[in-house]
Amino acid sequence: MITNDILPADLKQIAGKIKAGERINDEECLMLFEKASLGFVGSLANEIKQKLHGNKVFFNRNFHIEPTNVCVFSCNFCSYSRLYAHRDEGWELSMDQMLNMVKSYDGQPVTEVHIVGGVHPKMNLEFFAELLKKIKAHRPGLHIKGFTAVELDYMFRKAKMTNEEGIKYLHESGLDSIPGGGAEIFDPVIREKICADKVATEGWLAIHEAAHKLGLHSNATILYGHIENYQHRIDHMRRLRELQDKTNGFNTFIPLKFRNKDNDMSNVSECSIVEDMKMYAVSRIYMDNFPHLKAYWPMLGRQNAQLSLSFGVNDIDGTIDDTTKIYSMAGAEEQNPSMTTAELVALIQQVKRVPVERDTLYKEIKNYGPSTEMVLNPEMN
């Protein structure tokens, strides 16, 4: 609990607004980034999280399919993709290979397959619609979360469809929701420097708005800790908050840390774990209409993911089962990102939180309760 008697007047006022459930503005958000201590924002963020979810921390049983890392775009921060002109250095999965990945989970209680990858000119709208239909025919109950707005924008333009037409077509083929990737930073100047050729901010937002209007939920991300500043982060979050006010279609906000291994921005230093935790905390405070805040554990590492649970985070993603390379190729903490359900449950219980298995739309599947043996990792004491 924060005590106001030792705080500057401006931070006292912000704390009062937050405790009263009032929305903070951009100037107040900037003050939290620039003037407030990590303990101050962490305490406020944790109070908000407790009001929303108590001690619950959500996860799901999921796996990833990454159809290709071959891409027509060349984002400077990306360590994952290989340009189409150099596709011999990458991978391209066939329809059968991807369907076999789904079949390999037959009999296992996974609830979601997450499909994202590079933008490959031969993997068009029809190709992915057929893939979705085959997955649903094989396992109707499996939730398919697929395709960033970057992928969708390319597919729809190539197919000469509007966003609404394209999303409806994919939804009827089996698409259930949309991930939040490709948002990066919305500021046009920064976007021009780090990902000039991919879908613009207005296009990203328009695709998610179209999905929400058709009844599909989606997530939202931000790529932070590179050449942006706090104002750019706030501008990004404000645009998302405004769209959420309009549609209420976002489930989760996911801050993604920039990693500098093997990409064209390797000269940019990565931000500290203190900055990571502050980003989570301020996000939880500012993004007041987003029900969930997620820390992606393969990116942060297991212990830092545990730490984030004290800074407003209430979701640490899923089991993943070593099926994603996007962050491991960029130098993420987890080079073989896979955890069993038991390991995830223990990870959450070690820091006195209650693990709750969910589906993609946050319907609770199983509440594991608190641990009966609170044995903390000695390195975290």
Among 61-75, 202-216, 320-334, top mean pLDDT goes to 202-216
pTM of the model: 0.89
Going by pLDDT thresholds of 50, 70 and 90, the confidence category of residue 299 is confident
Residue 3 lies in a domain: no
Look at the chain and report how many structural domains it folds into: 1
Residue 12 lies in a domain: no
Q: Which CATH number goes with the domain that contains 249?
A: 3.20.20.70
pLDDT at residue 263, as a whole number: 63
What separation in angstroms does the CA of 185 have from each of 138, 172, 233, 251, 252?
Answer: 38, 31, 7, 19, 17
Going by pLDDT thresholds of 50, 70 and 90, the confidence category of residue 324 is very low
Residue 216 lies in a domain: yes
Residue 234 lies in a domain: yes
pLDDT tens digit sequence for 237-296: 999 999 999 999 999 999 999 887 766 677 788 889 999 999 999 999 999 999 999 998
Task: Express as a percent the part of the chain with pLDDT over 70.
Answer: 85
> How many CB atoms neighbour CB 325 within 10 A?
18
Residue 203 lies in a domain: yes
* Nearest by Cα to 295 from 241, 222, 190: 222
Strands (E), the chain: 56-60, 62-65, 70-71, 82-83, 112-115, 143-146, 177-178, 217-224, 250-257, 292-293, 315-318, 354-358, 364-367
User: Does the pLDDT of residue 377 top 70, yes or no?
Assistant: no
The letter for the amino acid at 172 is E
User: Does the pLDDT of residue 152 top 60, yes or no?
Assistant: yes
pLDDT tens digit sequence for 176-234: 999 999 999 999 999 999 888 889 999 999 999 999 999 999 999 999 999 999 999 99
pLDDT at residue 336, as a whole number: 54
Residue 10 lies in a domain: no
| Residue 244: domain span | 26-380
* Nearest by Cα to 87 from 63, 58, 123: 123
R_g of the chain computed on alpha carbons: 20
Q: What does the pLDDT average to over 147-171?
A: 96
Residue 361 lies in a domain: yes
Residue 18 lies in a domain: no
- Candidate from 209-223, 316-330, 362-376 with smallest mean pLDDT: 316-330
